[in-house]
Amino acid sequence: WQSLVPRDISMATIRAVGGGDECSGIALARLSEERKAWRKDHPFGFVAKPTTNPDGTMNLMIWDCKIPGKKSTIWEEGLYTLRMYFKEDYPSSPPKCKFEPPLFHPNVYPSGTVCLSLLDEEKDWRAAVTVKQILLGIQELLDSPNIKDPAQADAYTCFIQNRREYEVKVKQQASRFKNPNM
């Protein structure tokens, strides 16, 4: 499996993220490729990068991300912080994506975890889905909630029963997470 790991990842890095078996070697190789692809080309205003372990090594299994609200929507002024948690069997299984802090949104659990069919192995997850596609999908979900799959009762009820109040709350949230580039 070591031949699957790009040369710029040391065995110490693999051990630091809990790797060493075949599954995590494949996950680390794929995530290293994802990182390279992202650094070459990513959507404007988005951020996605592996976290750093306490010892200063890179942790490819947990990424810190920022998703800008789409232009001309109630989300547009915000820059939303999301953390992606990859499992050892990635890309066979999707990452867990969690807004930190949690957002007021029908498809975001109170814990911050995103409820999206693209991130569900029983639904639309495929191993070929990229970090870029995930983040763009989540950005799209922000302004286009899936009311058939609610995850947060308060936001869902507000969205269904009082759209004007929902929009006010989302705009207030956007101003709390103001995008410094706006």
Does the bond joining 101 to the residue before it have cis omega, within 30 degrees of 0? yes
Among 17-21, 27-31, 84-88, 122-126, the range scoring the smallest mean pLDDT is: 17-21
Task: Give the contacts of 149 (CB within 8 A, at least 6 positions apart).
Answer: 107, 115, 117
Options 23, 65, 97, 115, the catalytic residue? 115
**pLDDT tens, residue by residue, 39-94:** 999 999 999 999 999 999 999 999 999 999 999 999 999 999 999 999 999 999 99
Query: What pairs with residue 59 in β-bridges?
Result: 51
- Residue 13: what pLDDT? 46
Helix (H) or strand (E) holding 101: none
To the query of whether residue 115 is one of the catalytic residues in this protein, the response is: yes
Lowest mean pLDDT among 17-31, 98-112, 150-164: 17-31
Amino acid at 143: D
Angle between helices 163-176 and 153-161 (to 10 degrees): 130
Confidence at 14, pLDDT banded by 50, 70, 90 = very low
Q: What integer pLDDT is reported at residue 22 of this predicted model?
A: 53
* Tokens representing residue 136 in the block: 């763009």
Q: Whole-angstrom Cα distance, residue 21 to residue 171?
A: 46
**What is the model's pLDDT at position 179?**
85
Dihedral-angle region of residue 146 (phi above 0 means left; psi in -120 to 50 means alpha; beta otherwise): beta
Which pLDDT score is estimated for 126?
Answer: 96
Task: List the domains of the chain with CATH numbers.
Answer: 27-177 (3.10.110.10)
Q: What is the mean pLDDT of residues 103-115?
A: 98
pLDDT in tens, 153-170: 999 999 999 999 999 999
pLDDT at 69: 97
Of 61, 154, 38, residue with least CA distance to 106: 154
pLDDT at 182 over 60: yes
Q: What is the pLDDT of residue 181?
A: 78
Q: How far apart (Å, rounded) are the C-alpha atoms in residues 94 and 168?
A: 33
Residue whose pair of structure tokens reads 């947990």 in the numeric block: 62
Q: For all residues of the chain together, what is the average pLDDT? A: 90
> For position 23, what pLDDT does the model report?
57
